[in-house]
């Protein structure tokens, strides 16, 4: 099926984005199955179908895979002609939970996730918990697996919480989630899932607003994952880049630390254009942008240190 769809896309009139997203959901689910990977389609159109938010136009497909299957699903995409979206040195150097792929013949990205930020339990435990409750969803006449309604509500909440300070859309999605109807059984399931995935702490305010009684954690939250989440939700978009550079420098092998530090201070032309695509081509403008970026990064350092210190005190 995967190759036949690829041929159809190449030979036909170009798909619209909505058509491509629907077809890509079915295609990537079948691709993951073909390489023996366990995978769940997350977010996207299913959230509207589940009455968790209003309809939204999507430009990508998100698929969560068992962490041990992450590499082979990514390799299968590459083998099918997809290319990893160009990313900056920082995104390559910093720990990341996902990879984004594009294809010249498809109008949408495919984002492959090895885990989902905000679920603080071991990623394998989280996946198994979501997998045990998975339901069938039809995309392009294909049966695919996605998390059930309570699980999807948690994923939507975690996704929106990561940037509510900077994104009106995410604030709106949270508001729509709060207005969604839930049965008593679903309320109980949400509380249980928050405990099983160690997401009750990140979702404390959400659970309270939904009227869900948070249960004691069933599994311990991993300390590095928990601290990273606490720091991220304590920062806004203007300081997140600085935090990620600090993380990249911390986790880099000793021999690579000087390179990471230099790239943080003085990015290459390629990285600069990925950050600011409309930047003029002349060296003077680029060097001015580098200096401006460096000053902003230095100014953000105290807030990053403060967020890290606050997180450590909450252990």
Q: Is the pLDDT of residue 101 over 80?
A: yes
Question: What pLDDT does residue 227 have?
Answer: 66
Question: What pLDDT does residue 169 have?
Answer: 84
Note if the pTM is more than 0.85: no
Question: What pLDDT does residue 272 have?
Answer: 86
In degrees and rounded to multiples of 5, residue 137 shows phi and psi of -130, 135
State the Cα–Cα distance between residues 206 and 213, nearest whole angstrom.
11
Helix ranges (H only) for 142-282 are 149-161, 168-179, 184-196, 204-210, 223-233, 237-251, 257-265, 269-275
Cα 230-131-49 angle, rounded to 5 deg: 85
Give the closest residue to 58 by CA, choosing from 70, 50, 46, 76.
46
State the Cα–Cα distance between residues 20 and 35, nearest whole angstrom.
22
With a pLDDT cut of 90, the percent of the chain lying above it is 60
The structural domains of the chain, with segments of one domain joined by +, span 2-210, 234-313
Parallel/antiparallel/unpaired status of strands 142-146 and 135-139: antiparallel
Confidence of residue 248 (pLDDT cuts 50, 70, 90): confident
Which position has the token pair 């159109």? 45
| Average predicted confidence (pLDDT) for the chain | 87
Question: What pLDDT does residue 162 have?
Answer: 74
In this predicted model, what pLDDT tens digit does every residue of 251-275 receive, in sequence order? Answer: 889 999 999 999 989 999 988 888 8
Helix, coil or strand: residue 99: strand
Q: Is the pLDDT of residue 106 over 90?
A: yes
State the Cα–Cα distance between residues 161 and 206, nearest whole angstrom.
9
Is residue 1 within 8 Å of 140, Cβ to Cβ? no
- CA dihedral in degrees (115, 111, 209, 163; nearest 10)? 100
The least confident of 2-11, 39-48, 138-147, 290-299 is: 2-11
In degrees and rounded to multiples of 5, residue 164 shows phi and psi of -65, -25
The least confident of 73-87, 130-144, 236-250 is: 236-250
Q: Name which residue leads in pLDDT, 247 or 129.
A: 129
Parallel/antiparallel/unpaired status of strands 109-113 and 98-102: antiparallel
Continuous segment of H or E residues that includes residue 142: strand 142-146
Its sign, for the CA torsion 24, 30, 35, 37, is positive
The topology under which CATH files domain 2-210 is Beta Polymerase; domain 2 (3.30.460)
Q: Is the pLDDT of residue 182 over 60?
A: yes
In this predicted model, what pLDDT tens digit does every residue of 197-242 receive, in sequence order? Answer: 999 988 999 999 999 987 776 666 555 666 666 666 666 666 878 8
> In the sheet that 83-84 helps form, which strands lie side by side, from edge to edge?
39-42, 60-65, 109-113, 98-102, 83-84
Structure tokens at 43: 């977010």
State the Cα–Cα distance between residues 122 and 224, nearest whole angstrom.
11
Is residue 48 within 8 Å of 55, Cβ to Cβ? yes
As to burial, measured by CB atoms within 10 angstroms (0-12 exposed, 13-18 middle, 19+ buried), residue 102 is middle
Give the closest residue to 65 by CA, choosing from 161, 141, 1, 147.
147
Confidence of residue 1 (pLDDT cuts 50, 70, 90): low
Most confident of 6-15, 51-60, 126-135, 157-166: 126-135
């Amino acid at each position: 099926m995967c190759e036949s769809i690829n041929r159809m896309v190449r030979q036909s009139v170009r798909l619209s984005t909505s058509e491509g997203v629907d077809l890509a959901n079915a295609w990537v689910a079948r691709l993951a199955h073909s390489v023996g990977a366990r995978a769940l389609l997350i977010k996207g159109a299913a959230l509207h179908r589940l009455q968790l938010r209003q309809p939204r136009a999507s430009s990508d497909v998100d698929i969560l895979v068992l962490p041990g299957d992450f590499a082979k699903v990514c390799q299968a995409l590459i083998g099918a002609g997809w290319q990893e979206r160009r990313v900056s040195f920082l995104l390559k150097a910093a720990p990341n939970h996902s990879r984004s792929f594009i294809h010249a013949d498809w109008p949408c990205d495919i984002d492959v996730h090895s885990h989902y930020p905000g679920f603080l339990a071991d990623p394998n435990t989280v996946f198994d918990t979501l997998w045990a409750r998975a339901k069938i969803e039809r995309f392009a006449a294909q049966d695919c697996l996605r998390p059930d309604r309570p699980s999807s509500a948690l994923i939507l909440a975690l996704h929106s919480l990561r940037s509510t300070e900077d994104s009106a859309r995410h604030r709106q999605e949270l508001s729509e989630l709060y207005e969604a109807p839930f049965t008593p059984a679903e309320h109980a399931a949400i509380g249980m899932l928050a405990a099983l995935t160690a997401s009750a702490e990140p979702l404390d305010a959400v659970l309270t607003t939904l009227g869900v009684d948070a249960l004691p954690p069933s599994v311990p939250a991993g300390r590095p994952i928990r601290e990273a989440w606490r720091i991220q939700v304590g920062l806004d978009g203007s300081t997140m880049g600085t935090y990620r550079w600090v993380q990249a420098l911390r986790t880099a092998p000793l021999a690579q630390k000087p390179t990471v530090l230099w790239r943080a201070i003085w990015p290459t032309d390629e990285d600069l254009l990925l950050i600011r695509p409309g930047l003029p081509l002349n060296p003077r403008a680029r060097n001015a942008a580098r200096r401006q970026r460096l000053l902003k990064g230095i100014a953000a350092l105290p807030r990053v240190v403060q967020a890290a210190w606050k997180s450590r005190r909450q252990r």
